[in-house]
């Protein structure tokens, strides 16, 4: 129809308010957009300068060594809002990289933090490097209505400078100081492209440049386990399972809050922030889990847009992405299950290495009544996610040692009746048992006080080693070592020693020879008693060496026991160098030890005094705890 008015659609420049200022209010995503542009320009190096020495005139300069832009590129690409680069120019850069940009609005991000930008770009055209520069001002853009003509300050000027683009961001509205390191870490978490072919450096004022590396994303995190995707062990019918690639990590300690969850990346750039994709957030394992998963297939179609405008999240409404979300849930569930299994194995190995206890074997060797109690109690510790390795070793070792006591087993049986045994319940059991044990030792200690008094009297009277001291030690073996609660007299070996080393071989004053042979804790003790008034002689040590080697010979190697000889005497001579040197030699070899009666007496007094004091302290603490809970 002739004479009709031709329809025309114009763009209101206030769109920048919505697509720039409103969506990019912080610095890291703005820098990320410029890094993305440099990648698409086939740059191999990007240098970012943050200048805020003069806080009233802050400036950010981003310079890359990419292919640059010609006047035509500036006019037909950079200044066109919303141009789909992949549809117009193809899916790959001239250098063969997959293009990151798609929506054509990333250039507006700079106005989210600043009011003015200056773009200088150099590109080789017809064998010449041509330089162009233009300036864009936010206030001028808003006043322009539907058309804006940025000042073109340099037009096709020939230069010897290499190709590339420099963007100066000025009149920055941000008040807080720049943090180059924080930005570097943020970039490392947004991209998977930093290597020897694409290097980025961030410089703050006069400080040394910080290279952005992929390892920066793990700052402050001690990686313990990792899983490579795709997971061959995970059964699924998801059609893109083999195209879901990347790594998932779990740390030794909880990861920072802003890193918990799985990041999704397409074409090397973040498309969805860290998330657990609908799995309940209360799962304790989530505190330890992070990872980066590549899902390039969701961003292959130039006509289909699965990524939100701010590139922080996917648009999950469509059926294809719902299937991806369900598959990510399966991956996370699989990893958390494996994580618990691996952590348990580590704890079991730590217990075995540090205590020598094979947990499974120990439990299986228990009687039928004790076995289920021990199994459930130990399992609760090994599977507890907030009991670390060191604490696990301590708790398992304690339970292992205390399980020989019937009272402890009964106390343990009471708490395993619950389906869930919390760490607090196990700790409470240990605390209660500590008090019970201390109370029993307190009773024993009170009884032993009289024994210690009698022992002191026998020493003062220089009692005969046979039969008085011999019988006294047999009745009260804890005087030799407070750990020995009962005496297992190895009569056969005592007899062998007496037959081999007969009294007639001794001097008259040492005619009485006496041996106590004891097995305890994998050690075979040969103890020779002298009278409380006897002063140690060199010959006594030589005889003890013979006693020890004789027993070692007769025991053989099948018992795998350590043989130690003790000589109990009244006194060790202070001025006899030969005797004292030999005492030190044997002590270092841990073959022969010398004990005096007075030393045994003092040790017994100290040990039992400590037991009484310990019980009184524990009782006091227990009473105070009970008072606090009333």
Predicted confidence (pLDDT) at residue 531 exceeds the cutoff of 60: yes
CA distance 395 to 429: 11
Closest among 602, 592, 513, 596 to 548, alpha carbons compared: 592
Q: Where are the beta strands (DSSP E) in 418-542?
A: 515-520, 523-529
What pLDDT is recorded for position 228? 96
pLDDT band at 112 (very low <50, low <70, confident <90, very high): confident
Dig out the tokens for 53 from the structure. Answer: 């020495």
Determine phi and psi for 271, rounding to 5 degrees: -125, -15
Q: What is the pTM of this model?
A: 0.65
Closest among 13, 27, 19 to 169, alpha carbons compared: 27
- Burial group, residue 532, by CB count within 10 angstroms (0-12, 13-18, 19+): buried
Determine phi and psi for 122, rounding to 5 degrees: -125, 130
pLDDT band at 8 (very low <50, low <70, confident <90, very high): very low
Three-state SS for 176?
A: coil
Q: Is residue 289 within 8 Å of residue 274, measured between CB atoms?
A: no
Which residues are CB-neighbours of 303 under 8 A, at least 6 positions away? 87
Q: Is residue 79 within 8 Å of residue 16, measured between CB atoms?
A: no
List alpha helices for 314-465, DSSP H.
319-355, 359-364, 370-382, 389-402, 406-415, 423-460
Q: Are strands 223-229 and 562-569 parallel, antiparallel or unpaired?
A: unpaired
What pLDDT is recorded for position 14? 61
CA distance 325 to 276: 9
What is the overall mean pLDDT for the chain?
A: 83
pLDDT in tens, 533-557: 889 999 889 988 888 888 888 776 5
What pLDDT is recorded for position 484? 60
What pLDDT is recorded for position 124? 95
Which has more confidence, 146 or 34?
34
CA angle, residues 436, 437, 442, in degrees to nearest 5: 95
What pLDDT is recorded for position 147? 80
Closest among 174, 173, 151, 142 to 16, alpha carbons compared: 142
CA distance 379 to 369: 17
CA distance 76 to 83: 9
- DSSP, residue by residue, 72-93: HHIIIIITSTT--HHHHH-SB-
Three-state SS for 419?
A: coil
pLDDT in tens, 199-216: 999 999 999 999 999 999
β-sheet with 592-596: strand ranges across: 515-520, 523-529, 562-569, 592-596
pLDDT in tens, 406-448: 877 888 888 777 665 666 777 777 777 666 665 655 566 666 7
What is the mean pLDDT of the segment spanning 317-335?
92
Q: How many CB atoms lie within 10 A of CB 593?
A: 16
Dig out the tokens for 305 from the structure. Answer: 């847009």
pLDDT band at 119 (very low <50, low <70, confident <90, very high): very high
Predicted confidence (pLDDT) at residue 482 exceeds the cutoff of 70: no
What is the mean pLDDT of the segment spanning 90-109?
82
CA distance 327 to 332: 9
Predicted confidence (pLDDT) at residue 88 exceeds the cutoff of 90: no
Predicted confidence (pLDDT) at residue 277 exceeds the cutoff of 50: yes
Q: What's the per-residue H, E or C state across 13-29? A: CCHHHHHHHCCCCCHHH
What pLDDT is recorded for position 508? 44
What is the mean pLDDT of the segment spanning 113-125?
95
Where do the domains of the chain lie, and which CATH numbers do they carry?
A: 15-213 (3.30.565.10), 223-341 (3.30.230), 347-440 (no CATH), 446-607 (no CATH)
- DSSP, residue by residue, 357-384: --HHHHHHTS-TTHHHHHHHHHHHHHS-
Dig out the tokens for 242 from the structure. Answer: 């083999």
Dig out the tokens for 414 from the structure. Answer: 């009471």
Which range has the worst mean pLDDT, 295-309, 381-395, 611-625? 611-625
CA distance 136 to 168: 10
β-pair partners for 226: 249
CA distance 276 to 328: 8
CA distance 540 to 527: 12
Predicted confidence (pLDDT) at residue 630 exceeds the cutoff of 90: no
What is the mean pLDDT of the segment spanning 554-563?
68
Dig out the tokens for 79 from the structure. Answer: 């200044």
What is the mean pLDDT of the segment spanning 292-306?
86
């Amino acid at each position: 129809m002739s004479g009709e008015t031709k329809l025309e659609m114009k763009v209101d420049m206030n769109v920048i308010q919505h697509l720039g200022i409103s969506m990019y209010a912080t610095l890291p995503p703005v820098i990320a957009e410029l890094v993305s542009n440099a990648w698409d320009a086939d740059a191999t190096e990007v240098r970012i300068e943050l200048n805020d020495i003069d806080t009233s005139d802050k400036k950010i300069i981003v310079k890359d060594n990419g292919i640059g832009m010609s006047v035509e590129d500036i006019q037909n690409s950079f200044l066109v809002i919303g141009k789909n680069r992949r549809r117009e120019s193809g899916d790959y850069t001239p250098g063969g990289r997959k293009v990151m940009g798609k929506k054509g609005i990333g250039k507006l991000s700079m106005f989210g933090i600043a009011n003015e930008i200056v773009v200088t770009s150099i590109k080789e055209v017809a064998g010449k490097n041509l330089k162009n520069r233009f300036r864009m001002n936010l206030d001028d853009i808003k006043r322009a209505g539907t058309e804006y003509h940025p000042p073109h300050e340099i037009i096709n000027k020939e230069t010897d400078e290499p190709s590339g683009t420099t963007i100066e961001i000025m009149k920055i509205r941000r008040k807080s100081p720049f943090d180059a390191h924080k930005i570097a870490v943020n970039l490392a978490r947004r991209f998977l492209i930093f290597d020897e072919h694409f290097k980025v450096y961030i410089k703050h004022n006069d400080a040394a440049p910080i290279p952005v590396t992929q390892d920066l994303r793990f700052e402050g995190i001690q990686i313990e386990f990792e899983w490579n995707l795709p997971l061959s062990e995970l059964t699924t019918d998801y059609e893109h399972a083999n195209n879901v690639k990347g790594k998932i990590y779990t740390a030794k300690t909880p990861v920072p809050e802003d890193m918990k969850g799985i990041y999704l990346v397409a074409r090397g750039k973040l498309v969805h922030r860290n998330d657990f994709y609908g799995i309940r957030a209360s799962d304790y394992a989530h505190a330890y889990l992070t990872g980066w998963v590549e899902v390039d297939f969701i961003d292959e179609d130039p006509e289909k847009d699965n990524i939100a405008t701010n590139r922080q999240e996917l648009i999950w409404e469509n059926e294809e992405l719902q299937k991806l979300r369900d598959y990510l849930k399966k991956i996370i569930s699989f990893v958390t299950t494996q994580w618990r299994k691996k952590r348990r194995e580590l704890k079991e190995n730590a217990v075995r290495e540090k205590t020598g206890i094979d947990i499974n074997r120990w439990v299986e060797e228990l009687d039928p009544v004790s076995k289920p109690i021990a199994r459930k109690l130990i399992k609760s510790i090994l599977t507890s996610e907030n009991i670390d390795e060191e604490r696990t070793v301590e708790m398992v070792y304690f339970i292992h040692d205390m399980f020989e006591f019937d009272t402890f087993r009964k106390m343990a049986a009471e708490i395993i009746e619950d389906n869930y045994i919390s760490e607090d319940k196990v700790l409470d059991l240990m605390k209660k048992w500590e008090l019970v044990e201390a109370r029993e030792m307190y009773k024993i200690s009170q009884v032993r006080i009289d024994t210690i008094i009698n022992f002191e009297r026998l020493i003062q009277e220089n009692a005969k080693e046979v039969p008085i001291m011999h019988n006294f030690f047999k009745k009260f073996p804890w005087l030799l070592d407070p750990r020995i609660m009962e005496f297992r007299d190895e009569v056969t070996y005592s007899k062998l020693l007496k037959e081999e080393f007969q009294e007639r071989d001794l001097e008259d004053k040492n005619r009485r020879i006496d041996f106590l042979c004891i097995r305890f804790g994998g050690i075979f003790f040969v103890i020779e008693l002298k009278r409380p008034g006897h002063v140690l002689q060199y010959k006594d040590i030589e005889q003890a060496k013979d006693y020890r080697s004789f027993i070692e010979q007769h025991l053989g190697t099948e018992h795998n026991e350590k043989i130690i000889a003790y000589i109990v005497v009244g006194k060790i001579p202070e001025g006899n160098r030969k005797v004292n040197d030999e005492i030190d030699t044997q002590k270092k070899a841990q073959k022969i030890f010398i004990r005096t009666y007075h030393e045994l007496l003092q040790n017994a007094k100290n040990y039992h005094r400590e037991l009484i004091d310990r019980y009184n302290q524990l009782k006091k603490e227990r009473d105070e705890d009970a008072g606090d809970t009333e």
